[in-house]
Every structure is written in structure tokens, then in C-alpha cells.
Structure 1
Amino acid sequence: MITASLVNELRKKTNVGMMECKKALTETNGDIDAAVKYLREKGIVKSGNMASRGGSEGIIAARLTADGKSGILVEVNCETDFVSRNENYVKFVDDIADTLAASDAKTLDEALAVKKDEGTVDTFVKAKVLELGENIRLRKFERFDLQDGGAIAHYIHMGGKVGVLLEVSAANGDTATKDEFRDLVKDITLHIAAAAPKGLSRDEITEEIIEAEKDIYRVQLANEGKPAEMIEKIVLGKIGKFYAEAVLLEQAFIKDPDTTIKKLVETKAKEVGDTLVVKRFVRFGLGE
């Protein structure tokens, strides 16, 4: 049986109308993932139109050291939006973020093992579970330590629903103090939050993702009646467009669609008289 809640879940995930979602779920026997693929094969939804927010509630938080050379990003999940907006829970997440920012933890396991009060971050979380009566967990953790000159930056969007951590390197030591550099780093973090790139460069997009996209394009083109001998050529063109939408350096800058992030960085590098490189980024979307 295709329930209203199942249809609503697919609507939130794909931003597609109710009737199309119901039809997709009917065709796929209520399988959400299969329904998403069905809608994409029909050309009704593109991967870029997928809603970024998952089903979990909670808060994403970030911290930077005063010198901007180290930063962390954490996602702490709970079950309900009511709890995530509670002052007690907000303070709890802030406490975790402060503790981890002051630690040397580099992985999620290390973060959970960091000493906190009389125990660890892990036992601190478990105590809050008992206190609030909800399933709470430290779900994601990332730390960036500056590898060269430049800066680490962060951005929190939608009150903790999306978080970004970014490293941009500079060859000269004083570049990070310049307003042009700071503006560039801020703009890129905002762009990442909004555009949700899948990787920094083409090398970071896995072959599995590319092959899955190709399979969907092949079905779309076959449904459109395209000749078999032309399909593979068209698929290659579509993959090029996919890279332009999925790769950070190739994406059109949200504030100026006529330029790419790569060109934006090159332009700013000339302005500050330095070599600037986007080294890495991570983007957390709540529940993703």
C-alpha cells in the first residue's frame, strides 16, 4: 500500500509533485530509492534538484581556532525538531563542539573517545540520551588543519541544517590577512552550502557515480526514441554537463553564473598577487 507519508517522503526528497511521486512509488512497489531512479529515468527530476535535507533532526556546528589554522565540523543528531530547537540541546551541541575544537581528534572514533568531564564525549552523549529520552548521536566529525599558508573557514546555514568546512591555501604568509582573500573564502563557503558539489575536482567523483549517471541517461534517451548509435555520444555530452554541475571548481559561481569557481579563484589570485588553491572542503547536510 502506498501511504500518504511515503508519498510525502518522496516529495521532500525529490521536489516532485504528489501525483508523480505516487505513480513512481506504485511502479516500484513502494521502494523510495527505486522511485527516485524511476523519476530520474523519466526525466522528471535531475540529481541537482534533489532535496539536500535528510530525515534526521539535530544541529551541525563548527569551530575555528583564533589563528584560522584549524577548524572542525560536527553533526549531532536527535529524533525531533522540538528537541533540536531546545536551549538545553543547543548548549549540549555547543559544549561538544568546544570540547572537540580544543582536542587533537581527527576521526569520529577519536572524537567520541575525547575526555569530557568525568568520562568521554561518547558517555556525555549517552547521558543526554537518558536525560532527554531521545536517540542522540554524534554522527559526523571532520577536522581540517592548515597544510600550507592560507586559511581554514567555515559556514553554518539554516540554523545548523547545513555546514561547510573549507581550506584555501596561499603561498605568501600575509595573504590570509587581506580583505580580498577573506571575501573569496567566505564566498566559496556560501557557494558550497548552496550548490552542494559532490567533489572538488573530477578525480573525486567516483566511477560508480559516473556509471550510475550514464545508466540513467541511457534510459532517458531510449525513452525519447533516440537512435541506439547516437546514445553513447549524447551520454558523453551529458556527463560533461554533470561534471559542470557536480564538481566545485567547474560549477558556475552562485553570485556570478558567468564565471566558474576555478576562474573566480584565479581572478582573486591576480588581485592579491599570490597563488591561491582550493585544497579541500566538506559539506554536511543534516541527515545526509
Structure 2
Amino acid sequence: MSQISAKAVKDLRDKTGVGMMDCKKALEENGGDMQKAIEYLRKKGAALAAKRADREASEGAVVVRISDASDAGVILELNCETDFVARGGDFTGFAESIADAALAGGIDSAEKMMNVSLGEAYNGETVEDAIKSMTGKLGEKIDLKRLGMLAAKDGIVSGYVHPGSKLGALVQVKAAGNDESEGLVKDIAMQIAASAPIVVERAAVPREYVEKEKEIFRQQALSQGKPEQFVDKIITGRLEKYYQEVVLLEQSFIKDSNARVRDVLDDFAKRHDTPIDVESFIRYQLGE
């Protein structure tokens, strides 16, 4: 067997990111052939991915990418097993590369993303194969748990990721694009991340959610000894508080607790003589 040079080992490491000893072994097993060694390491990564398939991947990162024109955005959650790996450059760079490719390709789900190539930086591998390779490289289960995309034909898409990359939001707003409106939409994305609404407006709250809350409030009132004739009024009052918690437009604004989000948007529209309406949003919290 010919001697494997240190340069060849380094070249393979640069191409794959795998440890030096593993690179040396791959080259030795394949007679110094670089392409065969890369394939060997890919297969090794796939084998390790299969072994770790049943492991729990509850750490990771939430990543948001917004287009230069602020008319589209992607949010994803990529999982791994430990916070140590989640904070490493290899993992975060991989998550960002997936988000960039999703935005460039207009991909709106994790399932569709699996067959998309990540380009030369990942040896032309699809996301599915790159995940297997990354599992082999990092020694942990890697899982693209979810991915979503919003695109605005006539408006703005903005996003926010909370420091630590465990919580993020993407929001689509119908409005004219300028510095002031984009600043407000960014605030709305922060609002969504921080306050966890489930819908934009009251009418969109699923009926079964409302009925469930009403029954809970009814049982609470009766267990507290409230007279039957007052229970319906109590339920109505508590339901209003529920709407203020879960409906984005009815939440207290994070930058002014005396104003509702709806009030902030209405005030902006009046001052700038232009309508502004939240159309949809996506919120991801790690491990949800």
C-alpha cells in the first residue's frame, strides 16, 4: 500500500470536514483515491445516521433568512443531540446553508428540501445525503424537523431570531415597503416570537379551541362556588382575556404595553396614509 501523504489527508479533511484520523483511514482503505475516499466517508456517515436514528435530537437551532427585496423569507428548525454541537460552527453553518438554499429555490417544507442540492460547499450532495454526512462528521443525529416559507406579492416579509437561536418568527405584511414600515414589521416579528400568538385575528381562532376554553372557565367558576346565573358572564370576561393572549392583533404591544398591536398598526396607517395589514406568520420554538 502506498504511503498516504499528509497533504492528501489535509485535502480530504478540507473537502469533508471529517477528522484527520478518519480521513487517513478512508484514503488507506481506498488506495489513496480521493473520490472513493469521499464516498467511503459518506457511506460511513449514512451508517452512523442509521445507528443514531432512534436517538433523541432535542437541541439545535432556529434559522431565519429574508430575501434582499424583503418579499420572501424562510424559517427552519434543525435539530441535533447536544447544545455543544448546536453552538458549533459546522452545525450553524449547515443550518444557514439549508436556509439559503430553501430561500433561493422557493422551498416551503422540510420534505421538499430533502432532494435539493447544497452545492459545492457540500460536495453537491442533496440535503438528505448532507444530513447523513453531517451526522458522520459530528457524531450526532441531525434532523431537519420543519421548514416554512412566506412570500409577499404586494408587501413585506420580515423575521426575527431571539439570541441563542432557539426561538424565531417570520411574518408577512401587506404594506408599502420603506425603512419605516420595514422597521415596524420587524417589531411585529419580535412580537410574535415573544408573545406566541396562534392566529392573526379573533375570527381565525379554531372553534374547538374556544369551546374547550369555555368549558375550562365554566368548571373553574363552578368549582369556586360562583352562582350559576353569573357563570356565563364570567366565561365571557375570561374569554376576552384568552383572545388578548392568543390573537396577535389583540395582544399588548411589546414596545408599549398600553397599546394593542392593532392600535399600533392603525396609528402607523393614519400617520403615513397607507394601509398595513398582517396576513400570516410562522413561529418556531426549539423542541415544540
- Shorter-chain TM-score: which interval? 0.7 to 0.9
Aligned position for 2:87 = 85
Distance change (3 Å), C-alpha of 1:102 and 1:188:
same
Asked if the contact 2:102/2:108 (under 8 Å) is kept, the reply is: no
Asked if the contact 2:158/2:182 (under 8 Å) is kept, the reply is: no
Matches within 5 A, 1:137-156: 137-148=143-154, 150-156=155-161
Asked if the contact 2:97/2:118 (under 8 Å) is kept, the reply is: no
Q: Distance in 2 between matches of 1:57 and 1:198?
A: 23
Q: Does 127-136 or 196-205 show the bigger shift?
A: 127-136
Asked if the contact 1:180/1:272 (under 8 Å) is kept, the reply is: no
Aligned position for 1:245 = 245
Q: Distance in 2 between matches of 1:273 and 1:265?
A: 12
Q: Percent identity?
A: 37
Letter in structure 1 aligned against 2:237: G
Asked if the contact 2:170/2:283 (under 8 Å) is kept, the reply is: yes
Q: Distance in 1 between matches of 2:78 and 2:201?
A: 28
Could you give the per-residue CA deviations for residues 198-239 of structure 1, whole angstroms, max 9, x where no partner exists?
111123321222222222222221221112332233112211
Asked if the contact 2:79/2:142 (under 8 Å) is kept, the reply is: yes
Asked if the contact 1:57/1:80 (under 8 Å) is kept, the reply is: yes
Aligned position for 1:132 = 138
Q: Distance in 2 between matches of 1:187 and 1:106?
A: 24
TM-score normalised per structure 1: 0.75
Could you give the per-residue CA deviations for residues 148-201 of structure 1, whole angstroms, max 9, x where no partner exists?
1x211011102211111111112xxxx312x32122112211111111111111
Q: Distance in 2 between matches of 1:209 and 1:287?
A: 22
Following superposition, the deviation at residue 136 of structure 1 comes to 1.5
Q: Distance in 2 between matches of 1:184 and 1:158?
A: 20
Distance change (3 Å), C-alpha of 1:158 and 1:215:
farther
RMSD after superposition: 1.7
Asked if the contact 1:107/1:141 (under 8 Å) is kept, the reply is: yes
Letter in structure 2 aligned against 1:154: G
Bigger Rg over Cα? 2
Unaligned runs of 5+ in 2: 1-56
Q: Distance in 1 between matches of 2:164 and 2:146?
A: 17
Q: Distance in 1 between matches of 2:233 and 2:136?
A: 58
Partner SS state of residue 259, structure 2: strand
Q: Distance in 1 between matches of 2:93 and 2:109?
A: 23
Q: Distance in 2 between matches of 1:168 and 1:73?
A: 16
Asked if the contact 1:180/1:268 (under 8 Å) is kept, the reply is: no
Q: Distance in 1 between matches of 2:148 and 2:69?
A: 18
Asked if the contact 1:60/1:161 (under 8 Å) is kept, the reply is: yes
Q: Distance in 1 between matches of 2:109 and 2:90?
A: 26
Matches within 5 A, 1:9-48: none
Unaligned runs of 5+ in 1: 1-54
Distance change (3 Å), C-alpha of 1:216 and 1:184:
same
TM-score normalised per structure 2: 0.75
Asked if the contact 1:251/1:260 (under 8 Å) is kept, the reply is: yes
Matches within 5 A, 1:1-288: 56-117=58-119, 118-148=124-154, 150-170=155-175, 175-177=176-178, 179-288=179-288
How many residues are aligned here?
Answer: 228
Following superposition, the deviation at residue 281 of structure 1 comes to 1.0
Q: Distance in 2 between matches of 1:283 and 1:85?
A: 21
Partner SS state of residue 176, structure 1: coil
Partner SS state of residue 284, structure 1: strand
Distance change (3 Å), C-alpha of 1:88 and 1:165:
same
Letter in structure 1 aligned against 2:159: H
Partner SS state of residue 115, structure 1: coil
Partner SS state of residue 99, structure 2: helix
Could you give the per-residue CA deviations for residues 40-74 of structure 1, whole angstroms, max 9, x where no partner exists?
xxxxxxxxxxxxxxx92110001111111111111
Asked if the contact 2:63/2:161 (under 8 Å) is kept, the reply is: yes
